[in-house]
Structure 1
Amino acid sequence: MTGNISYLTDYEPFDGGYVSFGQGGCKITGKGTIKTGKVEFENVYFVKDYKYNLFSVSQICDNKNSILFTDSECIVLGQNFKLSDDANVLLRTPRQHNMYSIDLNNIVPHKDLTCLVVKASAEECMQWNRRL
């Protein structure tokens, strides 16, 4: 989602309903493609007066990219990126229904791993995902 139409190529008007943020919301009036160097994002919604550029993790992963989040940055990795081994993988969960959910019943702790998650059912997680 972006509020700056000049970022979008292949722009086309689109009735995408409304998006809520803060204390209000705005109408989605179009969509297009954002191309920045090595990355391209299709179907990016245009929301007039939206002051940020917002991409979903799923949208990036749908392009077959991987994402690494640290305490200071977000790194979008190329499509050919592969982990050399699983030595540093502390937790892995599959993507299902366009969402990553952790089943607390199937977590096997690894060393001093502390995992803080909401104890919600899969259906409750889906409801929250739809609201976001």
Structure 2
Amino acid sequence: MSYLSDFKELNGGYVAFGGKPKGGKIRGKGKIKTGKLDFDDVYFVKELKFNLFSVSQMCDKKNNVLFTDTECLVLSSDFKLPNASQVLLRVPR
């Protein structure tokens, strides 16, 4: 929770994970601000051992998201693929 600013406690229901419909209780929500990106409406779920990243939220802000085998890159909206033939699959969001 130390990365969250503007934190507000919530009785926000549950997040399903690990095959359980009530895997973790949403205890609050806040914002994460980095040097270049802001994440709004970030839920704090104590039972999660890892942070969840909203790809949709980044794309809604007109960024591009690229996953490799070792990392996730959030690219600016003006990023262009150097060669369109490198796209192996394209599906609508």
TM-score by length of 1: 0.59
CA contact under 8 A between 2:25 and 2:45: conserved in structure 1?
A: yes
Q: What SS does the corresponding residue of 1:6 show, helix, strand or coil?
A: coil
Percent of aligned positions that are identical: 62
Q: Distance in 1 between matches of 2:41 and 2:80?
A: 27
Q: Distance in 2 between matches of 1:18 and 1:88?
A: 40
Structure 1: give runs of 5+ residues left out of the alignment. 96-132
Q: Distance in 2 between matches of 1:93 and 1:50?
A: 30
| Alignment correspondent of 2:46 | 48
| Candidates 54, 57, 62, aligned match of 2:55 | 57
CA separation of 1:74/1:32 partners in 2, compared to 1, >3 Å: closer, same or farther? same
| Alignment correspondent of 2:18 | 22
Structure 2: give runs of 5+ residues left out of the alignment. none
Question: One-letter code of the match for 1:13?
Answer: E
| Candidates 3, 12, 15, aligned match of 1:7 | 3
| Alignment correspondent of 1:67 | 65
| Candidates 88, 91, 97, aligned match of 2:89 | 91
Question: One-letter code of the match for 1:8?
Answer: L
* Count of paired positions: 91
Q: CA RMSD in A?
A: 1.9
Question: One-letter code of the match for 1:12?
Answer: K
Q: What SS does the corresponding residue of 2:2 show, helix, strand or coil?
A: helix
| Candidates 33, 38, 51, aligned match of 1:35 | 33
Deviations 1:63-84, CA, capped at 9 Å, x for gaps = 2211111222221111222234
TM-score by length of 2: 0.79
Greater helix percent: which structure? 1
Larger radius of gyration: 1
Runs of at least 4 residues off by over 6 Å:
none
Q: What SS does the corresponding residue of 1:10 show, helix, strand or coil?
A: strand
| Alignment correspondent of 1:113 | none
Shift of residue 47, structure 1, vs aligned partner: 1.1
